[in-house]
Amino acid sequence: MNLRDLRYLVAVADLRSFIQAADQCFISQPTLSTQIKKLEESLGVHIFERTHKKILPTELGEQIIVSARRILLEINTIQQIAANAQDPLSGNFRLGAIPTLSTYIFPGLVPKIKQELPKLRLILIEEKTDNLITQLREGQLDAALMALPIQDNYLDSRKLFEDEFFLAVASDHPLAKRNRIAYPDLFQQQILLLDEGHCLRGQALRICQINHAEDLQDVRATGLETLRQMVKAGTGITFMPKIAIHEPEDGIRYIAFEEPVPKRTIGLFWRKTSARNVLLDRLSELISIPHP
């Protein structure tokens, strides 16, 4: 058994395909299949179930794959420690963010990184919270921007900023004349929410339930920009985080809430075992103030 075999193993587990895994590893499919077969024979267990249609890990295979990921992650950590000793602010850095942040933070962050950290190659990934957590734990990401709180003993975090919610209504909506919105004003209002899996949906849904607003269950949006257009079209009203607001804007009004103002807290998350603490500190400073 060697590190090369473990990389082949994880590639097959991720892609559920010997052909795709071979392409990813830049070897032929017969060579990869042979190496996996030799690994199974040396261990005396079947790691994968093979059918004509799909590849699935066996129960023992799942445990072996978890260990393989952990070993490869530790090897990567050793390599990072060595690289950071030479220049902690250089190299590749894979930064993830939830969709309701990435669209509004990344465009301002990228030129700032180029100016402040010219030796850093930033790789940006947009995913929902659950996927970001998984990718962090498995070493596929170095850090991720998500909304607090997240309970995970494997991760560390740092609070960056608070993002207040505004009520977004069409310009001709009865609430559009208000300077401030109180929670009772939401009673029986039809609220547009994001699709399942978005943490912002969960935060907005809690506000709706507490204040007896009506969630339009047959209407879902995959992103804030779609919600914005639906509000303009008069489909309903929604909660819009401050970071996503650009005024003045025709056809829509953003109204601030009275105290207590609903908000989300944005943080930077990384593995506790990460060797990139110097870079994480610098990156936190650059992201602490939301970019327009």
Using one digit for the tens of pLDDT, what is the confidence trace for 194-204? 876 677 777 77
Tell me the pLDDT tens digit for each residue of 27-68: 999 999 999 999 999 999 999 988 777 888 999 999 999 999
Domains of the chain and any CATH numbers: 3-82 (1.10.10.10), 90-160+266-287 (3.40.190.10), 162-264 (3.40.190.10)
Tell me the pLDDT tens digit for each residue of 206-254: 777 666 665 555 566 778 999 999 999 998 899 999 999 987 788 999 9
SS3 helix, strand, coil % of the chain, rounded to 5? 45, 25, 25
Average pLDDT of every residue of the chain:
88
Res. 83: pLDDT tops 80: no
The pLDDT assigned to 148 comes to 92
Tell me the pLDDT tens digit for each residue of 139-178: 899 999 999 999 899 999 999 999 999 999 999 999 999 9
Of 50, 43, 56, 51, nearest to 15 by C-alpha is: 56
Strand 214-221 versus strand 190-194 pairing type: parallel
DSSP code of residue 182: -
DSSP code of residue 237: B
Q: What percent of the chain has pLDDT over 90?
A: 60
pTM above 0.75, yes or no: no
